[in-house]
Structure 1
Amino acid sequence: MVGDRDGSGVRLPRGALRYPGASSRRQCAGERRGGIALRVRKVSRRVSFIAVGCGVVAVALLGGLRLWVEQKYHDRIYTRVEDVPPRPVAIVLGAGLWPDGSLTPILADRVATAAELYHAGSVQKLLCSGDNRFVNYNEPQHMLEYAVSLGVPQKDIVLDYAGRRTYDTCYRARAIFGVEQAVIVTQRFHAARALYLCDALGVDAVVILADRQDYSTRRVTWETREYIALALAWWDVNVRHPLPVLGEPLPIGEI
């Protein structure tokens, strides 16, 4: 077929006469695709390096903040009730309820430790602070009931129904209840952050550790989360300055 041969009678590839220069155009297109792929790989590597670098910096900052706070407050953390210096009030931080309203083990241990403080004469009042934003979820009330079952008189228990976060509890302890000195009752993983927040918000505090059992099944999660929580606490104290739910002052010494 004439269309398939050049002047010398040599058979050419199909379409060669119809599309002169097609081979070179295909070669150029391939080179362009290769160049684009190379640039994409370079950009991907650069983004990966930047992401890894940012991750390393973030981990270093979080770790450094945690180390600084723990070093600053380590001498305010007590493991034995008999060693705790007397303070007017123990702040018992909420830590969740089960669906049936019973205290989670971590919260039950906090209330039990606070009751032990009270019976030892180390504090005169318990400030039970927790979440009560929903009608069917009342941490402070259940904390009170458990403390009473452990022999603490109800008249010496004060309830803070708006302690939704540690920041809120410390803020309200000073602003609403007039607390200037306190013993914070919490577990070790949370102790440094609680001290940092109370110190920043005007409450001179020490901590009694309420680690009364092995929390190994959750401890890794809590410890990991605490790095982020401490960074957020620093941000609240130094940048955001959020206001919790407030109300009329109710000095704890007058209750």
Structure 2
Amino acid sequence: MAREPEGNRITPPHVPFYKATDLGGYRMRHLRLGKLRLLRPRLLRLFPLLRPRLPRTRAGQRRAVQAVMLGCVLALLPATWLFLAADDRLRTTRDVPRTEVAMVFGAGLRGEEPSPYLAHRLDAAAELYRSGRIEVVLVTGDNSREDYDEPDTMRTYLTERGVPGRRIVSDYAGFDTWDSCVRAKKIFGVDEAVLISQGFHIRRAVALCQEAGVTSYGVPAQGDRKNATWYYGTVRELFAASKAATEALFEPDPRFLGPREPGVARALATTRP
């Protein structure tokens, strides 16, 4: 019987291809896996936390469920505090009480222009000024780099929409909401203000400014589409609520404090055009 040429041999279907062609590599992989299996019990003895242990008794299971529920409640407490603290302080541009100062929080730039969210905040501030409900706009934002200047960009946007420059005061160290609120009180002497921001952020802004000593009303900016950025901001607020609760509890100083500035008082002393 003639032998089949070597080149025409076919690997039997029940033999894995890598076993028929690379026995050496297969043995090496098998040995490495075997060593890892031998090491696992030793690792578990050295690091017992690596071994997941579920409670075996009903009492233990009940305690585990209670612990999970308690963790959920504690996680939601800061968000609940924000909701309750600001619930009766939210208004619209039409029914907000007449207040001398409005605060607009920075929300990022696109090149040399305000981001869409920031533009909507500034539009609301300009509307409040034109309607006579506010007298001065305090723009607070980030100017930590020479090539990034939120307050001056906000000022330019407002002046182009009819707000006189002498009625705009800039805070160049409003790096976050708490810093802006504390600086408004301690640096610029603001006792009462209308806060303007997006709906997902306005409750936190009102709650923190209230804690900083600024009697506040919140006006959510209008015109925002509920896109991916909006939903991201909403989810982010759930985590930011814990930071806000910590700031309200411990009242840390802002990153930069400095001496008092008379900008707001000087702007209020000027007459409307």
Please name the residue that 1:62 is paired with: 75
Runs (4+) off by over 3 Å: 39-43, 49-59
Q: Which runs of 5+ in 2 are unaligned?
A: 1-37, 56-60, 268-273
For 1:173, the aligned partner's letter is: A
Please name the residue that 1:110 is paired with: 121
Match of 1:93 among 96, 102, 105: 105
- d(CA) in 2 for partners of 1:104, 1:53: 45
C-alpha deviation, 1:66, in angstroms: 1.2
Please name the residue that 2:7 is paired with: none
- d(CA) in 2 for partners of 1:134, 1:51: 49
SS of corresponding position for 1:202 = coil
Check if 1:202 corresponds to 2:210: no
C-alpha deviation, 1:54, in angstroms: 6.5
- d(CA) in 1 for partners of 2:72, 2:154: 36
- d(CA) in 1 for partners of 2:231, 2:64: 25
Superposed CA RMSD = 2.8
C-alpha deviation, 1:56, in angstroms: 5.0
Q: TM-score, normalised by structure 1?
A: 0.78
SS of corresponding position for 1:82 = coil
- d(CA) in 2 for partners of 1:53, 1:95: 40
* Preserved contact between residue 122 and residue 158 of structure 2 (Cα < 8 Å): yes
Please name the residue that 2:5 is paired with: none
Cα gap change, 1:106/1:43 in structure 2, threshold over 3 Å: closer, same or farther? same
Instruction: Report which stretch shifted further, 206-215 or 186-195.
Output: 206-215
State, as a whole percentage, how many aligned pairs show the same letter: 33
C-alpha deviation, 1:69, in angstroms: 2.2
For 2:224, the aligned partner's letter is: Q
Check if 1:168 corresponds to 2:179: yes
Query: Which aligned pairs between 1:83-162 and structure 2 lie closer than 5 A?
Result: 83-98=95-110, 100-162=111-173
Q: Which runs of 5+ in 1 are unaligned?
A: 1-29
C-alpha deviation, 1:59, in angstroms: 3.4
SS of corresponding position for 2:114 = coil
C-alpha deviation, 1:71, in angstroms: 2.2
Please name the residue that 1:75 is paired with: 88
SS of corresponding position for 1:229 = helix
SS of corresponding position for 2:75 = helix
Count of paired positions = 219
User: Quick check: which has more Rg, 1 or 2?
Assistant: 1
* Preserved contact between residue 100 and residue 136 of structure 2 (Cα < 8 Å): yes
C-alpha deviation, 1:41, in angstroms: 10
